[in-house]
């Protein structure tokens, strides 16, 4: 598989995972952090939780995403 095809496959799998498997809060954390450029502290203030809670959720989401890609042979 070419590098471009692998990248496209990863994006497709992750998009499907985000839209079908994550809670609204989990999706928002990823969107606010990666697409809106908010800090973990800013996201925590938005949700009314601590920065460390957001950081733990983010870390867990990354671990789950990596595991999903490995299971699909894309990691």
Give the global pTM: 0.85
Residue 61 · residue 26 · CB < 8 Å: yes
- In this prediction, residue 74 carries a pLDDT of 87
Read off the CATH number of the domain in which 43 is found.
Answer: 1.10.10.10
pLDDT in tens, 12-52: 998 899 889 999 999 999 999 999 999 999 999 999 999 99
Q: Residue 55 pLDDT more than 90?
A: yes
Q: Which residue range(s) make up the domain with 13?
A: 3-71
Q: How many domains does the chain have?
A: 1
Per-position DSSP letters for 15-41, written without gaps between them:
HHHHHHHS-HHHHHHHIIIIIS---HH
- Where on the phi/psi map is residue 22: left (φ > 0), alpha (ψ -120 to 50), or beta? beta
- In this prediction, residue 49 carries a pLDDT of 97
User: CA-CA distance, 26 to 33, in Å (whole number)?
Assistant: 11
């Amino acid at each position: 598989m070419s590098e471009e095809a692998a990248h496209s496959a990863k994006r497709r799998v992750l998009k499907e995972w985000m839209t079908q498997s994550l809670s609204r809060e989990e999706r928002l954390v990823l969107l606010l952090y990666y697409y809106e450029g908010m800090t973990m502290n800013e996201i925590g203030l938005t949700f009314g939780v601590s920065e460390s809670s957001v950081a733990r959720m983010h870390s867990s989401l990354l671990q789950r995403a990596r595991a999903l890609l490995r299971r699909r042979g894309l990691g």
